[in-house]
Structure 1
């Protein structure tokens, strides 16, 4: 076992891929700068060369389109967008091209491109640098979307995404970069992406808590606080949000009778609502002990002022209060 951080685990994933797969290369803005990508790519350009770790001009659309084209010629490119907000410039390439090619050409073309989108919130960056747009991409058939929450998944899901023959959106959150954990060596061979699904991180009988990426860590924090009060929770990390598998969530709710979903996006047409809808479709009415609840961002753009950010982003204490309301309902 090795102790490492979330950000360093991403770097380990890049190192593994670049070392063993000559068809892999990385391109994007600021890849040689910790200001853009933290410690997740430190010195990779020195180890593997600037022809494989390419710091590009500022053109999200051009970089993404070029990577998709390269993937159709046998490469496995990784495009890095240090802020998800500016992936909006390349929506046509992702939604109308990468996600559609396999279906359009009867499975004869597979754009094995990985698009890394970084959620970079807080720090008074304002509404145009703070968005988590994962629900948008999870809506698109043909595009796999993963959101690793744990240190091990940060490494292993990156490897699985790049070795997958489908286009994959890999979303990581800067708020997770400093988290530390012990991780095992990379499996031989690495676990393929289609075998990765939701994970039960903690087991309990009173409440089902569901999160993805950073909100999974908040669910674990809330579960720990509730445990001190004699309440046990199932904590489920979704990990993959397209295709979304809510079977584990439904089975958990049949046991606990209560569901609280925590999502880092907005409520309307969001991930939390989809999880609740799928659970409602699968779990018999008689199994519910209280109405399902969700915690999301307010339906407003992110503020710039630090004191308003504290109120805008859900905190563990507020999530715990809603969890207690679920437990109190009959």
Structure 2
């Protein structure tokens, strides 16, 4: 956000005191409500707004606190964001990032604990990333922000409880390339 004034964060509760499991608090304090915007809860509407601003040159990072509720924004994601490059003959991009949180927790039930990455991975024009560590989460988020296409970053909520070293400096983890941690 420091390097690109077109990057902004939008979602229900992103500027609140708890900041989506604590992940948006620092940005909200540093950049204020003009660049970290809490919006009313309407997944389809806010995703459409994010897609529209991406098409117009902004770099929105949308935060959906529950992966499950991306289903309410499927029309926007599938029929607009993911297809924009194809509909324009490759001339126009939709650099949208959607952060979606997944993972069970107390009281989550069936509607708050689904893993939908396989569903989204079959949509042409859409990129999906699932970080396996805090290091991956930062690097994939920065790669997604710099990507010309829409990216859904599905973050497991247990990653927020890890305490590993993450470099302060900017770095990226390549989208679309898995990390081999052990051959066999």
TM-score, length of structure 2 as denominator length = 0.93
1:76 is displaced (CA, Å) by: 0.5
Aligned partner of 1:96 in structure 2 is 79
Q: What is the aligned counterpart of 1:71 among 54, 73, 87?
A: 54
Aligned partner of 2:177 in structure 1 is 197
Conserved? CA contact 1:156–1:186, under 8 Å:
no
1:72 is displaced (CA, Å) by: 0.8
Instruction: List alignment gaps of at least 5 residues for structure 1.
Output: 1-17, 203-233, 235-255, 257-330
Q: Deviations over 1:126-180 (max 9, x none)?
A: 1111111111101111100000111111111100001100110011011121112
The structure with the larger Rg is 1
Structure having the larger proportion of residues in helix: 1
| Alignment CA distance shift 1:192-1:152 (3 Å) | closer
Aligned partner of 2:151 in structure 1 is 168
- 177-186 or 163-172, larger mean C-alpha shift: 177-186
| Alignment CA distance shift 1:129-1:36 (3 Å) | farther
1:120 is displaced (CA, Å) by: 3.8
Q: Residues of 1 paired with 2:139 and 2:14: CA distance?
A: 20
Residue 55 (structure 1) aligned with residue 35 (structure 2): no
1:107 is displaced (CA, Å) by: 0.6
Q: Deviations over 1:166-200 (max 9, x none)?
A: 1100110111211122234535xx44745x51112
TM-score, length of structure 1 as denominator length = 0.53
Aligned partner of 2:22 in structure 1 is 39
1:93 is displaced (CA, Å) by: 0.4
Q: Residues of 2 paired with 1:164 and 1:186: CA distance?
A: 19
Conserved? CA contact 1:164–1:193, under 8 Å:
no
Q: Deviations over 1:82-116 (max 9, x none)?
A: 00111111100001111111112111110001011
| Alignment CA distance shift 1:45-1:185 (3 Å) | closer
1:124 is displaced (CA, Å) by: 2.6
- Partner SS state of residue 8, structure 2: strand
Conserved? CA contact 2:139–2:173, under 8 Å:
no
Q: Residues of 1 paired with 2:167 and 2:79: CA distance?
A: 38
Q: Deviations over 1:15-66 (max 9, x none)?
A: xxx1111000111001123656112112422210101100000111111001
Q: Residues of 2 paired with 1:35 and 1:23: CA distance?
A: 24
Between the two structures, name the one with larger relative contact order (CA 8 Å, sep ≥ 6): 2
| Alignment CA distance shift 1:127-1:60 (3 Å) | same
Conserved? CA contact 1:117–1:169, under 8 Å:
yes
1:125 is displaced (CA, Å) by: 1.7
Q: Deviations over 1:267-302 (max 9, x none)?
A: xxxxxxxxxxxxxxxxxxxxxxxxxxxxxxxxxxxx
Residue 123 (structure 1) aligned with residue 106 (structure 2): yes
Aligned partner of 1:226 in structure 2 is none
